[in-house]
Structure 1
Amino acid sequence: MRVLFRFFAATQCRGRSAVYEALSESVAGDDALLGLLLDTPGDQRRPSLLFAAVNLLLAAHPGDELSAYYAIHGGRRTPDERLVPAFAAFCADHRDELLRLLRERSTQTNEIRRCVALRLALDHVRRRLPGPFALVEVGASAGLNLLFDHYGYRLNGRQDPGAGAPVISCEVRGDPNGFALGTAPRITRRLGIDRNPVDLSDPDARAWLEAFIWPEQVGELATLRAATDLALASAELSVVPGEATTDTARLIGQLPGSEPVVVFTASLLSYLAAEARSAFVAQLQEAAAHRPVAWAFAEGPGLLATVGLHTPALNGPLSRRNSLYAVGVSLRGPGLRDDQLLALADPYLRWLAPARTKADDFAWLPSDG
């Protein structure tokens, strides 16, 4: 676990959250805090889960010293010598509540900025398959990404004319001249699949979803709440319980119509063991025997390299760049198979670097993005 927290600090927190970077390093060297996690099931020992549990409880204790470091709770203090002791004290004071959350809750994030990856993938799919499309997200959480075409998009500060709210911002790196997202296609049906779907009508469920917003991310919290309000007012989407590795093909098969199905995943593979990743891809192939299926993904290159995608770039150094995500599409269906990497991106789609050629291995992109 020490290695896991240090990796989290270096690859996920650096440049994104000074608070979580400092806390991740401190947890890695603190036997008492690591001992808290050792009292939980093995698959629950995730940095994101610990920090979300603390964040949830902190929202109910706004006067605690630790809240001064969380801008989302009104704090203005930057990391200093008191941050780690305040975090350790809070964990000690609320140990029983934290243990309950760590044992019973699961990771639930809904980073709607990843809709930029979905938009890019849909542009590619539309050039190969006629629309409209049915849209399925596996690992959908609350299903907010299913409403991608209701959001506004701001790329490099340039916003879509007439864009709606909330607005998703993303930096385009490399050669952004002329890069633009195409018009969103018509979506006939929107279905989310998740092991533990988030019921947005439940205030406790919404609070748990918000607990995964990081301390400095005031804007992201506002965006999440705006997207939540939009989803609550929408009758278009449905999120149902299901396992990615056993239920995906069956649930796709229950969709009426014969239009192509776009299946979107973002960070799903990181939660699946090697055998489970292969089982999920087999589910896609099973579904594609009956109607065209396009797997649109934003996933770690090293994990994608283990599931048999026909992209030569994943056989080289790109497969070792797991601090970044590959955005792409795998088209499957009767007589159809085409895999394409479209971009390399920050895991949270704060920035995206479009591929320069069909065989781009992104060696031109600096190692730090």
Structure 2
Amino acid sequence: MTIATSYVEFGTREARGVSPAYERLSLAVSRDDELLDLIGTLPPARQQPNLLFGVVRLLGGPVEDPAAFREYAVANWPVIAAELRTRATQTNEAGRCALLLPVLVSLPQPLALLEVGASAGLCLYPDRYAYRYGDHLLGSGEPVLDCAVTGLTPPTRRPEVVWRAGLDLNPLDVTDPADVAWLDATIWPEHAHRRTRLRAAAEVAAAEPPLLVRGDLVDDLPALAAQAPPEATLVVFHTSVLYQVPAPGRAAFAELVGGLPGHWIANEAPEVLPYHGLPEPPSDAFYNVLALDGRPLAWTRGHGQSMAWFG
């Protein structure tokens, strides 16, 4: 896939109907040879639209108007490129817990949660957040995670979590304002509700910080998994992480996690992990596949806003 095509795909499938600003911006970049050439000087893993746009937002640049974005990006490219080379798309969207919850409560309790690609670990607190599935409210306090569900009766309880840990190449600290600023920058421009949710989830995590380990998802996973209490059900999970891992690494990870005791929850794009016989998605929008132990269960939207259960 060319860089231009990847920006068209992002604009028309991921941003359309979700972020008009990023849809406009992605399509404008896809037609701009000078910007495409600049992006092409970066390593492939640093060329992603949401990474570029997040870095420009972090630096205080404009992302609402394509012309203003272009002027800023060209004039400040050395600074932007330097940030891009050190950053990763660590969108730590607590809303994805609403997708995980139906699976988590179906497993033998209590749970030991281990998130791969944990960022700041905000998805390690599914037992602390409140949820709203349509008219069904579960739990109290903030944040409240809204999720539209079809094909499934919403959960009536939250999981019991006795241990939580995360593995990341560059773990973030919710008590560090600079790290929270980067998490904020990765949120799409119009999504004020997600910024509010980020702050509320960060307060939950800061009150009882998780164990976050800097490491590789293959090399360092067994040692961290071994720290989980034996009386709890180990659950290794990840959401929108493996697309950043080259195919051989994905295969090695899948083989490794499949051999660990406990369970494996994946929430990734359909081309990232091999699933056979997937039903048609609900629309032509961008969907992930939620799976338990390699068995696909539902189509899910990227920020946890909806899920269509078929498992």
TM-score of the superposition, structure 2-length normalised?
A: 0.92
Distance in 2, Cα, partners of 1:12 & 1:157 = 26
Helix, strand or coil at the partner of 2:298: strand
Aligned twin of 2:228: 255
Unaligned runs of 5+ in 2: none
Instruction: Return the letter of the residue paired with 2:292.
Output: V
Q: Separation in 2 of the partners of 1:182 and 1:144?
A: 22
Alignment equivalent of 1:215, drawn from 178, 189, 203: 189
1:35 pairs with one of 29, 37, 55: 37
Match of 1:234 in 2: 208
Judge conservation of contact 1:33–1:88 (CA < 8 Å) in 2.
yes
- Output the CA distance in 2 between the equivalents of 1:260 and 1:151: 20
2:269 maps to 300
Q: 1:276 aligns with which of 249, 269, 272?
A: 249
1:45 counterpart (44, 47, 56): 47
Distance 2:75 2:305 in 1: 35
1:121 to 92, 100, 103: 103
Deviation of 1:192 after TM superposition, in Å, equals: 0.7
Percent same amino acid at aligned positions? 34
Deviation for aligned residue 1:159: 2.0
1:341 aligns with 2:296: yes
Are 1:163 and 2:140 counterparts? Answer: yes
* Structure number, greater radius of gyration: 1
Q: Which amino acid aligns with 1:138?
A: V
- 1:6-21 residue pairs with structure 2 within 5 A? 6-21=8-23
**Which of 258, 264, 289 does residue 237 from structure 2 map onto?**
264
Q: Provide structure 1 residue ranges, at least 5 long, that are not aligned to the other structure.
A: 70-82, 307-311, 331-338, 359-369
Cα distance in 1 for residues equivalent to 2:273 and 2:105: 21
What residue is the counterpart of 2:75 in the other structure? 93
8 A contact 2:136–2:154 mirrored in 1 = no
Specify the alignment match of 2:277 in structure 1: 313
Partner of 2:131, secondary structure, is: strand
Specify which structure has the bigger relative contact order, considering alpha-carbon pairs within 8 angstroms and separated by 6 or more residues.
2
Q: 2:66 aligns with which of 81, 84, 87?
A: 84
Letter in 2 for 1:119: L
C-alpha distance in structure 2 between counterparts of 1:262 and 1:255, whole Å: 10
Classify the secondary structure of the residue corresponding to 1:327.
strand
* Structure 2 residue aligned with 1:354: 309
Instruction: Give SS of 2:113's match.
Output: strand
Distance in 1, matches of 2:4 and 2:87, equals 22
Matched residues in 2 for 1:156 and 1:113: separation?
14
SS at the partner of 2:211? strand
Structure 2 residue identity aligned to 1:167: V
SS state at 2:164 partner: strand
Cα RMSD of the aligned pairs, angstroms, is 2.0
Tell me the distance in 2 between the aligned counterparts of 1:326 and 1:170: 16
TM-score, normalised via structure 1 length: 0.78
The match for 1:324 is: 287
